[in-house]
A and B are shown apart, each in its own frame.
Chain A
């Protein structure tokens, strides 16, 4: 504890300056590199776009997460626009200065990958889980094949495929943004796990629920949307959040194909001769960032479970 705070130096231009001041941790490295940790190499003049995206994110998440949020019904409809608006803000074009995605980095990159993966893997996972139980053989075989293939391959391998091999499959001259490829791979990877989590929930729904829905003349999709999925997802919440957390942490793997997530920035900082040897400080800082995000998700999941539990006990 003393090392962390009391004996720590918070300012300074290099490691030597730190140790001249105090014997503990040298947090100056974080201070100097904070912008890098947050924005990566995103152009300084355009960083307001990242900040604005974060504000939009908070305004979008709030009504999704909290039932009591004001104007929730309208906010949920507007939320659909969020991915498009944010993508436009971050990448640019259409009036904004374009920013190459290889300039994305740091926590911003983590959030972009994590939130895209989380946002898309749940619906894709639901479709795959339903597909796996479909009576149509083609859909069933596709779903099973997809899920088992993705689950059988490590994410790193998929990322390598994304970074190198995909180019061979595409016609020459067609370039496909690396970050986009990573987003697709991470999303597909999480979707396969999500599908299995949701399938567990689907299997826990008593047959009588399906029969009651059928006997009323409800269509398949109405029955799923109104009756089966709300119950199945509720049961699956712990598993869903678990998958989210796993995905979020796995975003650090992109360092291997050369994207600079916070860990990558940390390593680059340590390579600077002024700051060598401060790996404890740098990695602790990154760890705290991930812990706060993941702990937040876990707490929210507990809150949700409790709320649903009291909402409709069986």
Chain B
């Protein structure tokens, strides 16, 4: 553990206030395995970040540190100026403002689509039922499946389930949305319907951090692409330069692999 002098910490804290997410010298280990190595990242409010990299490079671990589904062991992470530490209060405040969409949707199978969407607003935001239902229907319309509101997740296709998952996150009106490979568990014909929803979202000013290998999406909405390998951020650039003019050997190798698919 590094013991930084108090003043340095205060300085990062005030600087972090202007960013949606700030990561400083973040390290994480699983036992002896060093998954995240010296991660430094500033995400502007409203910025769309795309993270890519080979399997096992630590992409999921990185974004899961942002809402503390995983704990980092060294360095500092600030979300909207609030530091992620063992303080459970801060964690809860941050989780309320940060939504997450998972690869395997993680909808609640025993609740209807509508109930999935209203659960957090009712129990976390203490919203009255009628208001929560109205907001949920609004977002279900936004993701184009209001007619499925009373079905159970198991009765929907994968693409529909993922759109419900996005609506469910939006119902909390988060300021930051994390996506962990939202389309990689979907059949090809369903990928587009989910990406369309995400592209539409991107135009609305919300901060988005997406782990994805969808290059079209990255180029349409991404402000910045980050390439990770082996627990490190190897390269970051705007999408056009990143894809057309990669600097690093490992980036070139990775791009040649995914573009040949």
Contact = CB atoms under 8 A, between A and B. Distances in A.
Interface in B83-122: 92, 95-96, 98-100, 102, 104, 106-111, 119-120
B123 interface: yes
A214 B69 contact: yes
Interface string B216-234: 0000000000000000000
B9 interface: no
Contacts of B154: 312-314
Nearest to B96: A217
B73 interface: no
A284 interface: no
A113 to B, nearest CB: 33
Nearest to B124: A217
A222 B125 CA distance: 13
Interface residues of A, number: 21
A216 B119 contact: yes
B152 interface: yes
A218 B124 contact: yes
B120 A227 contact: no
B120 A312 contact: no
B148 to A, nearest CB: 14
Contacts of A211: 69, 100, 102, 106
A231 interface: yes
A208 interface: yes
A53 to B, nearest CB: 35
Given A313-B152, A313-B155, A314-B154, A216 B95 contact: yes
A209 interface: yes
A256 to B, nearest CB: 43
A217 B153 CA distance: 21
Given A217-B95, A313-B155, A208 B120 contact: no
A209 B100 contact: no
Contacts of B120: 216-218
B124 A312 contact: no
Contact of B108 (A217, A227, A313): A227
A216 B171 CA distance: 10
Given A217-B92, A313-B155, A212 B108 contact: yes
A215 B109 contact: no
B100 A215 contact: yes
B251 interface: no
Contacts of A313: 152, 154-155
A123 interface: no
Contact of A214 (B95, B99, B153, B155): B95
Interface of A: 206, 208-209, 211-212, 214-219, 222, 226-227, 230-231, 234, 311-314
Given A216-B120, A216-B124, 16 more contacts: A206-B106, A208-B102, A209-B106, A211-B69, A211-B100, A211-B102, A212-B102, A212-B106, A215-B95, A215-B99, A217-B96, A218-B120, A222-B123, A312-B110, A312-B154, A314-B153
24 contacts: A206-B106, A208-B102, A208-B104, A211-B100, A211-B102, A214-B67, A214-B95, A215-B98, A215-B99, A215-B100, A216-B119, A216-B120, A216-B124, A218-B119, A218-B120, A227-B119, A231-B110, A234-B110, A311-B152, A312-B110, A312-B152, A312-B154, A313-B155, A314-B109
